[in-house]
Amino acid sequence: MSSIYFNPSEYIRNLQQLLVSDKKKIGFLFGAGTSLVNNPITKQAYVPAIKKMTELVEDKVNKNVIYKAAIEEIKTELGERYTIETLLSNLELKKQVIGISIINGLKKSDVDELIKSIKDEIRDLVSIHATKDQIDIKSLVHTDFAEWIGKADRKCAVEIFTTNYDYLFEMGLEYKSIPYYDGFTGSYQPFFNGESVDDMSFLPTQTKLWKIHGSLGWHYDEAIKRILRKDSDSKDILIYPSTLKYDQSRKQPYTALGDRLTNFIKQDDTVLIVCGYSFGDEHINERINTALSSNHLSHVYVLYYDLERGEDGKKTSTLTIDCPMAKIASANRKISLFGSRSAVIGGVFGNWKLKREPDKDDSINIDLYYDEDAYNNLDDEKNKELKQVWSGEGELVLPDFSRFVYFLKKMVFPNITETGNHE
């Protein structure tokens, strides 16, 4: 256990000051974790996590007995590493070498069809816009986030980078009538305008939404050689989770969107806040590190949700000094990694711990971002009495996207309740 401690009050106060500063350019990088918030109507996550998605996709494609047998063999090959991502990666690699052979009982045409079936199922699972009657957009956490954007008094527009394909951020922004730009221009057949993405001064006061892995509704029109935005169908252009992500990221429109992320961080006085993204995409990680190395005034704050719940219901923090995420932050002092119970700040690993026991007034504010552990009961041998001891340790709740958005809204709506209602 680390003997180094970080006072959460100090670091979260600094983060608050950055968020309200007009001098700072604020950007967000949101990953799949920001779509895992529960739908209050269905009581399920809007978009399933990787484990659940793997189960759902497998259940659908296994209706074909040939596919089922092949997947069982691949599952044995991959062992504990088996997920929908490693399955797709495995199939994509085999597709490149199969030739006229048969692998896992599949011909090349079978592999092609299985890959297509898996991608179709993934696209269907993230197409939550198709079931609008099951979505309470008003209570959507993404709608709350959009409201914060609309109310926060900022001179520089907020920039949102996301690896998600779904329309949750679009739904929230449009529900709150927040104008935003996503790189597409036009009305009849909106087309991707790469030059506008390159231009950091284009629409300077308008919120930006950059979907760096593509989006539902993006299509490549072979006839006019343009990327268009229209209704979503099976020809959507997306970077699916597989080993081909890096190669695909070097194509348009992904190159332009990746360059935007790099150029945003390279600007003076920029802060990038990361949530729901666990640095699993090397092409994104490379851009972040490259940009940070050329600008000593930029900083990246990573809100890393690292809690796992065991069969007994207890939560365990997975951020340790030797885990991949900690190593990434330890290697770059410009990346501050905030986990649930520990952090890497200035390249140093430590645990969260308050310096002093909060008084009554302090507790109200601290509860926004920190959940203190219960008092410890220690047996005092001298007095033979059971004494309660305050430890100062606890859980930082901001890595939870819903709690982070509530934290943001409290800055502009001090009287708001945690249910999202104004008192």
**pLDDT digits over 128-146, tens only?**
887 766 788 898 999 999 9
pLDDT of residue 50: 86
State the total domains in the chain: 2
Place of tokens 């399955």: 87
**Residue 308 belongs to some domain of the structure:** yes
Residues 112 and 179 in one domain: no
User: How does residue 377 score in pLDDT terms, banded at 50, 70 and 90?
Assistant: low
Alpha carbons 313 and 159: distance in angstroms, whole number: 37
In the block, which residue shows the tokens 């190593």?
327
Q: Among 108, 128, 148, where does a domain finish?
A: 128
Highest mean pLDDT among 209-213, 385-389, 416-420: 209-213
Question: Are residue 122 and residue 202 in the same domain, yes or no?
Answer: no
Are 271 and 184 in a shared domain? yes
Is the pLDDT assigned to residue 387 strictly greater than 60?
Answer: no
Q: What is the pLDDT of residue 133?
A: 65
- Beta carbons of 94 and 104 less than 8 angstroms apart: yes
The verdict on residue 155 lying in a domain is yes
Whether residue 296 is found in the same domain as residue 318: yes
* Residue-range definition of the domain harbouring residue 175: 5-39+135-214+241-358+393-412
Are 121 and 159 contained in the same domain?
Answer: no
Give the whole-angstrom CA distance, residue 110 versus residue 264. 43
Can you give the C-alpha Rg of the chain in angstroms? 23
Report the 10 Å Cβ neighbour count for 375: 11
Give dist(CA 345, CA 337) in Å, integer: 6
Looking at residue 101, its pLDDT comes to: 87
Do 86 and 116 sit in the same domain of this protein? yes
Q: Which residues contact 244 (CB under 8 A, 6 or more apart)?
A: 89, 92
Cα 232 to Cα 126, 229, 238, 405: the distances in Å are: 11, 9, 11, 29
Q: How far is CA 413 from the centre of its chain?
A: 25
Which of these three, 78, 113, 128, is where a domain ends?
Answer: 128
Q: With 60 as the cut, is the pLDDT of residue 334 above it?
A: yes
Q: What is the pLDDT of residue 146?
A: 97
pLDDT tens digits, residue range 177-228?
999 999 999 999 999 999 999 999 999 999 999 999 999 999 988 899 889 9
- Encode pLDDT of 100-119 as tens digits: 889 899 999 999 999 999 99
**pLDDT confidence of residue 364:** 67
CATH of the domain at 206: 3.40.50.1220
pLDDT number for residue 39: 76
Contacts of residue 276, defined as CB under 8 A and 6 or more positions apart, other chains included, come to 30, 31, 32, 33, 34, 35, 36, 305, 401
The pLDDT confidence band at residue 352, using thresholds 50, 70 and 90, is very high
Q: Is the pLDDT of residue 245 over 80?
A: no
Alpha-carbon gap, residue 355 to 7, rounded angstroms: 6
Find the mean pLDDT for residues 47-56: 89
Where does the pLDDT of residue 249 fall: very low under 50, low under 70, confident under 90, or very high at 90 and above? Answer: low
Query: Are residues 96 and 165 located together in one domain of the fold?
Result: no
Range name among 135-139, 231-235, 267-271, 391-395 with the lowest pLDDT average? 231-235
Tell me the CA distances in angstroms from 249 to 123, 238, 290, 367, one per residue in order.
18, 10, 16, 40
pLDDT for 423 equals: 35
223 is a domain residue:
no
Clarify whether residues 27 and 149 are in a common domain: yes
**Would you say residue 381 lies in a domain?**
no
Structure token pair of residue 229: 């935005």
- Quick count: other Cβ atoms within 10 Å of Cβ 403? 19
Evaluate whether residue 249 is within a structural domain.
Answer: yes
Residue 198 shares a structural domain with residue 82: no
Under the banding of pLDDT at 50, 70 and 90, the label for residue 250 is: low
Least confident of 37-46, 90-99, 166-175, 397-406: 37-46
Cβ atoms of 123 and 161 within 8 Å: the answer is: no
CA distances from 415 to 147, 412, 420 (A): 15, 9, 10
CB 33 within 8 A of CB 405: no
Among 99, 84, 78, smallest CA distance to 54 is for 84
pLDDT in tens, 5-42: 999 999 999 999 999 888 889 999 999 999 988 877 77
On whether both 10 and 102 belong to a single domain, the answer is: no
Tell me if 267 is assigned to some domain.
Answer: yes
Report residue 379's pLDDT band, with 50, 70 and 90 as the boundaries: low
pLDDT at residue 421 in the model: 41
Task: Tell me the average pLDDT across 339-350.
Answer: 97
